[in-house]
Amino acid sequence: MTLDRRTFLRQNAAAASATLMLTTGEGALARTPAGPPIDFRSNLPATGSFPDRWICGSESLMDNTDPPVQVHWYNAHTAILRQNKAYSYEAPFAPLYFGNERVLLLDEGFTTWRNDWDLRGVVDQCIAEWCARHGRDPAAMELLVAFSHLHADHYAAVNQFADRPNTRYMGLTHWEMLGFWGMTNFPEEVVTLDLGGRDILIWGSPGHVVSEFAYYDSYTQILYTGDMFYRGRCYISFWEPWFDSMTRLIRFCDTHPVTHVMGCHVEISRDGQDYPYGLTWQPDEAPVEMSVQQLRDAYEMAKTITEPGIYFTGTVFLCNQTRGTTTIDVNPYRYD
């Protein structure tokens, strides 16, 4: 979608942040929902829950009977989607945040065609259910389709939303990603997206790849870190930018309440064992949610890392410039 369909209402330079307001104007598709407004700014954080167990593939993919996408309602206004590992070993997570005027979908999973598995249909059903519960017209809710970074398992299904009415989706270049949020000072600038009374804070978080974002939902106070930090093998392509991104995350946690840190994958068991790369069956996988303390522990270990290699923090594997190597490889890369 083109940038002239977006109105940037104000930029707060004193706070080193910008506020992005997607408003209804001439040529805009969004319409004001008819239902009474929901209060997303009182009695925070909004509580919620994660499931005891996610759909995590099966021993026989041919015999797998689970749905392609698991939908878990964290609370009444927040859904978390997870791709079934039987359909892709990546099995990415995808938060779905509802505001009074629009809905934000983050990360779209590793598929392209709806006849492979219909992510768009699942998202439309979630929107329809939410609108039915809250007296809204689904056609009036604008959908924003974005992702954490430029890897195919996070944006492949964007195609499914290309012809969806009242929808805007992120482009597949670095500059289109920045333009979607109106960023002019990546990665330090913090942009606030207003979903209609529900604010999402967004800033650059490169290191896993160059074009990458962190997202903070002010309603649930969940910090979403994509592939930059998650339960598994954090593949760090660029160490110094990644460390700087970790520093920004820590400073953010120092000044903002965070209930959970959430990445986009799980590649580790509950007892800390590294699952093999490409595995499509994880019967005892660790929970996706992490604590701020676990983030801090990883940051403290990162301060001691001076050369490439794989380092276990007790929660995640920091894979410093070891892309494609896991802890169970017989002959891992050597650095003398």
pLDDT at 327: 52
Under DSSP, the state recorded for 269 is B
Q: Would you say residue 333 has pLDDT above 50?
A: no
pLDDT higher than threshold 50 for residue 12: no
Q: Distance between CA atoms of 272 and 283, rounded to whole angstroms?
A: 13
In order of 57, 156, 314, the CA distances from 305 in angstroms are 34, 34, 15
pLDDT tens digits, residue range 182-238? 999 999 999 999 999 999 999 999 999 999 999 999 999 999 999 999 999 999 999
Helices 239-255 + 292-302 axis angle, to 10: 140
- pLDDT-based confidence at 116, cuts 50/70/90? confident
Q: Would you call the peptide bond into 187 cis, given omega within 30 degrees of 0 as the criterion?
A: yes
Instruction: For residues 228 and 238, give the distance between their C-alpha atoms in angstroms, rounded to a whole number.
Output: 11
Distance separating alpha carbons of residues 299 and 294, to the nearest angstrom: 9
For residues 141-170, average pLDDT:
94
Query: Does 153 score more than 50 pLDDT?
Result: yes
Domains of the chain, first to last: 3-320 (3.60.15.10)
Kindly tell me the number of DSSP H helices and DSSP E strands found in the chain: 5, 17
Task: Assess contact for 259 and 220: CB atoms under 8 A.
Answer: yes
pTM of the shown model: 0.87
Q: What is the pLDDT of residues 162-180, one digit of tens each?
A: 999 999 999 999 999 999 9
> Is the pLDDT at 6 greater than 60, yes or no?
no
DSSP-derived 3-state class of residue 87: coil
pLDDT tens readout for residues 53-78: 999 999 998 899 999 999 999 999 99
First to last CA, the chain: 49
Instruction: Name the average pLDDT for the chain.
Output: 87
pLDDT in tens, 241-298: 999 999 999 999 999 999 999 999 999 999 999 998 889 999 999 999 999 999 999 9
pLDDT band per the 50, 70, 90 thresholds, residue 16? very low
